[in-house]
């Protein structure tokens, strides 16, 4: 069963010519439609995330400022990120859509959740918009789950590092953040040595891969670097920052993934979901509409055991040594972090 928010393009949040555009949601809808799920789809009405729900991860001052800026007419927030008069309300509904999907899944105790909203969220930081993102949708849901006592794994396979999500949970042992991303690339964060704050050592796993990397590199690194930590963390919920700009046809990155690679990544994620109704994916990037359509279909087709068409998974690209290199860099960083924590406790 697919539990998905009511898909709306939110055309009132648009900057003509900008790649983060309303048609992206249409591409997602087409991808879901291609699976012919029939009555196996539950549409969940989003609601406007409340201030209480948002301040778990965002500063109240930022929320006030963003709202006021939008109601004053909006404009460019930085060289990448825009807001319109309607963006504040749309962003609140985007964050609320995630909460609504998670609540519905909790109530049903089954299904796979997909939150297809825009603007995306994983670059949004506690106190600022960034990288097309206004509110951090996946983080709002993760924080809500963590406050209910859940141990939340966030897997972020967007081509860009989710710097906002990482920073929000940097020192929070209730959340394990795992990111595969191209490096170097915007936003410039996400090196392997970032392993979490002193209260959450080993709760951040970054797997930066070089341009030209193929799907096999990401999967191998997830298996060799992330899987043991995930096993130990033993998540009770899994959220995915599902960006599709690592696809080879996407203009925003230089990785060489195919739609078939997203099926492969989805299989890996499914293996660590602890129980039915405990996996929800959040749309992040993905700017080539055809790649987005086919990759969403491959992801959800895999998770729902529905037939789908996908290109063969990619292999043989750059970054053969990524898993080894990341493991070694993390080993050193973890030793330093644990020593720092011990010396802090002794002081």
Q: Which residues are catalytic?
A: 123
Q: Does 91 bind another protein (CB under 8 A)?
A: no
C-alpha 43/C-alpha 32 separation (Å) is 12
Could you tell me how far CA 154 lies from the centroid of its own chain?
A: 7
Rounded least distance, CB 55 to another protein, Å: 17
Q: Using CB under 8 A, which of 24, 118, 128, 278 touches another protein? A: 128
* Assigned token pair, 248: 């080879």
Interaction pattern, residues 176-205, with another protein; x per rule: CB under 8 A:
--------xxxxxx----------------
Angle between helices 259-271 and 289-304 (to 10 degrees): 30
Q: What are phi and psi of 239, to 5 degrees?
A: -115, 145
Interaction pattern, residues 236-265, with another protein; x per rule: CB under 8 A:
---------------xx-------------
What is the CB neighbour count within 10 angstroms for residue 345? 8
Which is it for strands 237-242 and 82-83: parallel, antiparallel or unpaired? unpaired
Of the two residues 60 and 312, which places its CB atom closer to another protein in the complex? 60
Q: Does 228 bind another protein (CB under 8 A)?
A: no
C-alpha 164/C-alpha 75 separation (Å) is 21
Structural contact between residues 125 and 152, judged by C-beta atoms closer than 8 angstroms: no
Total binding residues toward another protein, as defined by CB under 8 A: 28
Q: Does 77 bind another protein (CB under 8 A)?
A: yes
C-alpha 34/C-alpha 227 separation (Å) is 31
Rounded least distance, CB 132 to another protein, Å: 7
Q: Using CB under 8 A, which of 160, 181, 203, 247 touches another protein? A: 160
| Positions in 20-49 near another protein (CB under 8 A) | none
Residue 80 CA: distances (Å) to CA of 61, 184, 186:
22, 18, 11
Q: Using CB under 8 A, which of 16, 38, 79, 346 touches another protein? A: 79
- Residues within the interface to another protein (CB under 8 A): 18-19, 62, 65-66, 69, 75-81, 128-132, 160, 163, 184-189, 251-252
């Amino acid at each position: 069963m697919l539990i998905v928010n009511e898909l709306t393009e939110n055309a009132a949040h648009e900057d003509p010519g900008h790649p983060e555009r309303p048609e992206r949601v249409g591409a997602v809808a087409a991808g879901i439609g291609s699976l012919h799920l029939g009555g196996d789809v539950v549409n969940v009405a989003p609601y406007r995330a409340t201030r209480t729900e948002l301040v778990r991860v965002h500063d109240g001052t930022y929320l006030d400022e963003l709202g006021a800026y939008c109601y004053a007419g909006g404009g460019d927030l930085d060289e990448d990120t825009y807001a319109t008069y309607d963006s504040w309300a749309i962003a609140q509904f985007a964050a609320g859509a995630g909460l609504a999907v998670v609540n519905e899944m909790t109530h049903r105790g089954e299904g796979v959740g997909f939150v297809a909203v825009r603007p995306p969220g994983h670059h949004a930081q506690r106190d600022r918009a960034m990288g097309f993102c206004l509110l951090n949708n996946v983080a709002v849901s993760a924080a809500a789950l963590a406050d209910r006592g859940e141990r939340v794994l966030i897997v972020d396979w967007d081509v860009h590092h989710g710097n906002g999500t990482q920073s929000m949970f940097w020192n929070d042992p209730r959340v394990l953040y795992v990111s595969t991303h191209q490096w170097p690339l915007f936003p410039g964060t996400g090196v392997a040595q970032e392993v979490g704050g002193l209260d959450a050592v080993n709760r951040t796993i970054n797997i930066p891969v070089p341009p030209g990397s193929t799907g096999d590199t990401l999967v191998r690194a997830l298996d060799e670097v992330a899987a043991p930590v995930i096993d130990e963390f033993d998540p009770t919920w899994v959220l995915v920052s599902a960006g599709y700009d690592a696809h080879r046809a996407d203009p925003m990155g230089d990785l060489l993934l195919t739609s078939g690679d997203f099926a492969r990544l989805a299989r890996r994620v499914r293996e660590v979901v602890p129980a039915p109704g405990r996996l929800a994916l959040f749309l992040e990037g993905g700017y080539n509409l055809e790649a987005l359509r086919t990759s969403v279909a491959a992801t959800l087709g895999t998770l729902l055991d529905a037939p789908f068409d996908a290109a063969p998974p990619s292999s043989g690209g750059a970054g053969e040594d990524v898993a080894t290199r990341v493991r070694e860099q993390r080993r050193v960083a973890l030793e330093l972090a644990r020593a720092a924590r011990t010396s802090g406790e002794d002081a």
